[in-house]
Amino acid sequence: MTQPPDYCVCSLLKQTRVFPLPCVTGMLAEQFVADGPRLHLYDFEEKHWKYLHNWQHATMYLFFGLAAAVSLITHSTEAAPPALDRLMLGIAFFNEGFLFLYHLHGRSMLDVHVHQLLLYAVFGQALIAFLEVFHRGNIILELLRCTLTLLQGSWFWEIGFVLYPPSGPAWDLKDHSNMMFITMCYSWHLAFALLVAGVLYCTVSCVVRSRLKRTPPVEMGLLKTRERDAESEDEI
Amino acid sequence: MTQPPDYCVCSLLKQTRVFPLPCVTGMLAEQFVADGPRLHLYDFEEKHWKYLHNWQHATMYLFFGLAAAVSLITHSTEAAPPALDRLMLGIAFFNEGFLFLYHLHGRSMLDVHVHQLLLYAVFGQALIAFLEVFHRGNIILELLRCTLTLLQGSWFWEIGFVLYPPSGPAWDLKDHSNMMFITMCYSWHLAFALLVAGVLYCTVSCVVRSRLKRTPPVEMGLLKTRERDAESEDEI
Amino acid sequence: MTQPPDYCVCSLLKQTRVFPLPCVTGMLAEQFVADGPRLHLYDFEEKHWKYLHNWQHATMYLFFGLAAAVSLITHSTEAAPPALDRLMLGIAFFNEGFLFLYHLHGRSMLDVHVHQLLLYAVFGQALIAFLEVFHRGNIILELLRCTLTLLQGSWFWEIGFVLYPPSGPAWDLKDHSNMMFITMCYSWHLAFALLVAGVLYCTVSCVVRSRLKRTPPVEMGLLKTRERDAESEDEI
Amino acid sequence: MTQPPDYCVCSLLKQTRVFPLPCVTGMLAEQFVADGPRLHLYDFEEKHWKYLHNWQHATMYLFFGLAAAVSLITHSTEAAPPALDRLMLGIAFFNEGFLFLYHLHGRSMLDVHVHQLLLYAVFGQALIAFLEVFHRGNIILELLRCTLTLLQGSWFWEIGFVLYPPSGPAWDLKDHSNMMFITMCYSWHLAFALLVAGVLYCTVSCVVRSRLKRTPPVEMGLLKTRERDAESEDEI
């Protein structure tokens, strides 16, 4: 069956979502930016490690790249069991949290705290991706993972504003009331992420429903066939 | 089918149970009580945070309000998957425990201890609400959640009596034997909550059974139809 | 159908297994032994708590008594959901571990360590009893719970020998190599408990099988009926 | 039905995989190497424990030997429930991690750290083996367990190179940047183990598929019968 062009584009975009290209770009960028390691790791003259942070970031990208490659394989061929993409995603998030966890030695109190809060989102995503291995297609888990991804993103932004404030005075990194405010901030970010995920979910499901109603029966049969194709890609 | 008035009232009460109104009231009360923040959070003159506790309590109310709103939506419309209400309830309890967890810096030993004991109930509720996403309608989980809710309520009371004794001498907040007594007290509260939940369960199930037996067969058919309606509301 | 006497005795014994009598006896013994609290808890003259250990032990017995009472109710009536007995058993074990956990303040290193090792068995039992709520009748979980019960029992004995050696020199409670030896000892107790549980399982299943083979077909029909009764009691 | 010789050899090899012989050999080697304990454990003259490390290693071998024996029993007879082999494997890994956990007192920072990283793999294997009790035959869990086994093996090698470098200068066991490099190293070992497991999986599944295609239909019927036999051995 020849597939109509719009379906192909949609499918391509869907696969681009998981295409490992951004991860490879990220790894290269971490290595070859102006003051990057350029594949050097050990300073043999002064006998100590250099550029450890860049290498750690590149390692994180590496695992997300692996997860994307596996996702591409499971969706386009039948060589791998379909749940493997969620397992790799879970391992990639676990690895990210694992590297952040041992990243914090000797920093000031607030700096450690904002990174620890981040770990809630990261390990939460790892756990949910692992649960999805057994409960694939559970909409609740998908929404929760989406929410935690939004939370992680907005919290990275917040970390930037706290540690390197673009204007105004620097934060006192040892003040306890700052720490309590930041904790509350994290709850607000979570509420915001829940709201965004909820609005997105409602919009998408409304659009899909109204389309299904408008389509005449014959067209709808075709649509269903296409849907079944798209699904069969997911649930081989 | 036009529904008889008593069913409507029952359904209304059931929805009132989850109506977000109490949460909004709580948030407003926290903000506008006599010495409340009135939406102020930062004292720009003295450069420090003010009213952090009130804001934290308002944040807790906010999440329970969100959970109630989602519960209202999932029970009255078909826009959201039904398990979403348990997920939001779990997130609300998790958020409550999360804020309490970072709330305890620099307090005295017994004060920290009574709040830590509270966290067993709060995180327990979060875990059970999350399990209910997958095992919806499991009576054991419902009873356990009910028990932990009772435990949380009675323990808040106990905390009040320990930290601000209404009469008699204040507790020595650094005495270790006080701490051991309080731990045992928590077990007694748990036993009490189990007892109350058990008595409630027996009473309700006895009343329901005796009613079902007394009802003549024709009426019972109607009752069954209504029951099926009520259930279909829960398990779309 | 009138049940033959041997079945009744067997059923009675089975219920005696869970009869709350031993727990009540234990609670009374803890209260009224020679130097027991006799229901006193606070010394109003010297203003401190007395007999906290006896009261803690009585509280542990209380929860096991509750679990036994619930087990009796779920097995003999239809008033409660059958999985409730495992939930109560899990709560009883959790409560035991919880009280032990906050029991250890200010003791010497080895004393704390032997009690912490005990917690592995106790919380393990709580977890398994909770899993049995969802996987009732899973033979693997039953065997594991049986093993951990044996482990807990033999380890209590070991604790007695270490802390109050009946003869010979006392143990050095601060020596690190003692601690490492005790840890290894715990593994040996676990191996021993696994062995005992395995031998018991083989013996029982061999006896049951050889009996089933020896019984003539007619008798076997009766046996099956009885078995079905016994099972229906468990799996309503 | 008489089974063809190649099937028998294959089946024998499969059982040899789990044969407890290597474990017994390991235990004996730990006891009777040149400077081994030879079943001595306590030095009565100097009143302290001797050879604790050798005894701990022998205890680890003991549990893997038990797991292998149980696996042999469940695969060759019908005396035990089939999921018992995974439970015993989980207990063996748990016991290994448990002994390592209390093994680390008083060592230098990097030494403790490399052993703690090992525990991620060991406890991960224990958890996955326990999950396999409930989700037997899940290919994702099998692959993950295989990956963690590879990780554990390659990390033991790495530990050897770090603590006893065969050439060059010794590592500074108190340097924090060494610790961060080692953490990143662990991620690389994990990526390597994932890669090896992936390549193995692809190779095996390609070979099996190409064979199935080449076999003529009649032969294939026989193959299927054999397969069913092999499976029935696993899933009684």
Query: How would DSSP label each residue in B190-228?
Result: HHHHHHHHHHHHHHHHHHHHHHHHHS-HHHHHHHHHHHH
Task: Report the pLDDT averaged over residues A63-84.
Answer: 88
Look at residue B222 and tell me whether its pLDDT is greater than 50: no
**Alpha-carbon distances, residue C113 vs C109, C124, C161, C164, C174 (angstroms):** 6, 17, 14, 15, 11
Distance CA D69, CA D95 (A): 16
Average pLDDT, chain D: 80
The residue among D41, D78, D102, D135 with the most chain C CBs within 10 A of its CB, best to mutate, is D102
How confident is the model over D98-135, as pLDDT tens digits?
999 988 877 888 999 999 999 999 999 999 999 999 99
Name the token pair of C94. 């959790």
Task: Report the pLDDT averaged over residues A53-57.
Answer: 87
Q: A230's torsion region: left (phi>0), alpha (psi -120 to 50) or beta?
A: alpha
Q: How many residues does chain A have?
A: 236
Task: Report the pLDDT averaged over residues D213-233.
Answer: 51
Please report the pLDDT score of residue C72 as a whole number: 87
Helix (H) or strand (E) holding A49: strand A48-49
Distance CA C146, CA C170 (A): 32
Please report the pLDDT score of residue B105 as a whole number: 79
- Are residues B79 and A191, on separate chains, in Cβ contact within 8 Å? no
How confident is the model over C209-225, as pLDDT tens digits?
888 888 765 544 444 44
Tell me the HSE value of A145 on the side-chain side, using a 13 A CA sphere: 19
Please report the pLDDT score of residue D167 as a whole number: 81
Q: Give the closest of D66, D79, D106 to C194, CB-based.
A: D66
Please report the pLDDT score of residue A19 as a whole number: 57
- Are residues C102 and B180, on separate chains, in Cβ contact within 8 Å? yes
Please report the pLDDT score of residue D123 as a whole number: 96
* Residue A187 φ then ψ, to 5°: -60, -40
What distance in Å separates residue B139's CA from the closest CA in chain A?
A: 21
- A11 pLDDT band, cuts 50/70/90, is very low
Task: Report the pLDDT averaged over residues B199-227.
Answer: 72
The one-character DSSP state at A171 is: P
Least confident of A15-24, A221-230, C68-77, D29-38: A221-230
Report the interhelical angle of C109-134 vs C84-101 (nearest 10°): 160
Look at residue C4 and tell me whether its pLDDT is greater than 60: no
Residues in chain C within 8 Å Cβ distance of B139: 81
Tokens 């200010």, located at residue: C106
Report B:32-91 residues touching A (Cβ under 8 A). 41, 48-49, 52, 55-56, 59, 62-63, 66, 70, 79-81, 83-84, 87-88, 91
Contact C127/B at CB under 8 A:
no
Average pLDDT, chain C: 80
How confident is the model over B72-116, as pLDDT tens digits?
888 888 878 889 999 999 999 999 999 999 888 778 889 999 999
Residues in chain A within 8 Å Cβ distance of D176: 105-106
Distance CA D65, CA D26 (A): 9
For residue A100, count other CB atoms closer than 10 A to its CB. Answer: 17
- A12 pLDDT band, cuts 50/70/90, is very low
A&B contacts, CB < 8 Å: 57
Please report the pLDDT score of residue C229 as a whole number: 44
Contact C157/D at CB under 8 A:
no
Helix (H) or strand (E) holding B141: helix B139-163
What distance in Å separates residue D195's CA from the closest CA in chain C?
A: 34
Q: Burial level of C173, CB count in 10 A (0-12/13-18/19+)?
A: middle
Q: Which residues have C-beta within 8 Å of that of residue B190, sequence separation ≥ 6? A: B147, B151, C91, C95
Please report the pLDDT score of residue A107 as a whole number: 84
Which chains sit next to A, with 3 or more Cβ pairs under 8 A? B, D
Tokens 């290919």, located at residue: D139
Q: Give the closest of A177, A188, A190 to B52, CB-based.
A: A177
Task: Report the pLDDT averaged over residues A123-138.
Answer: 94
- Do the strands A48-49 and A42-43 form a parallel or antiparallel pair, or are they unpaired? antiparallel
Q: Which residues of B121-142 are buried (b: 16+ CB within 10 A; e: fewer)?
A: bbbbbbbbbbbbbbeeebebbb
How confident is the model over D13-58, as pLDDT tens digits?
444 445 567 777 777 777 777 677 777 777 777 777 778 888 888 8
Please report the pLDDT score of residue D26 as a whole number: 76
Task: Report the pLDDT averaged over residues C116-138.
Answer: 94
Q: Which residues pair with A43 in a beta bridge?
A: A48
Please report the pLDDT score of residue D216 as a whole number: 63
Task: Report the pLDDT averaged over residues A110-134.
Answer: 94
- Are residues A62 and D191, on separate chains, in Cβ contact within 8 Å? yes
Distance CA C167, CA D15 (A): 48
Look at residue C13 and tell me whether its pLDDT is greater than 60: no
For residue D112, count other CB atoms closer than 10 A to its CB. Answer: 16
- Are residues D102 and C190, on separate chains, in Cβ contact within 8 Å? no
Please report the pLDDT score of residue A225 as a whole number: 43
Look at residue A68 and tell me whether its pLDDT is greater than 60: yes
**In chain A, which residue ranges form alpha helices assigned H by DSSP?**
5-17, 21-32, 52-76, 84-101, 109-134, 139-163, 176-214, 217-234
Residue D218 vs residue A204, higher pLDDT = A204
Please report the pLDDT score of residue D217 as a whole number: 57
**Alpha-carbon distances, residue D89 vs A61, D139, D236 (angstroms):** 34, 17, 19
Distance CA B183, CA C131 (A): 26
- D221 pLDDT band, cuts 50/70/90, is very low
Task: Report the pLDDT averaged over residues A123-127.
Answer: 96
How confident is the model over C57-90, as pLDDT tens digits?
889 999 999 998 898 888 888 878 889 999 999 9
Name the token pair of C185. 């000892």
Least confident of B4-13, B26-35, B70-79: B4-13
What distance in Å separates residue C187's CA from the closest CA in chain D?
A: 7
Q: Give the closest of A81, A99, A106 to D140, CB-based.
A: A81
Angle at the Cα of A190 from the Cα atoms of A133 and A104, rounded to 5 degrees: 80
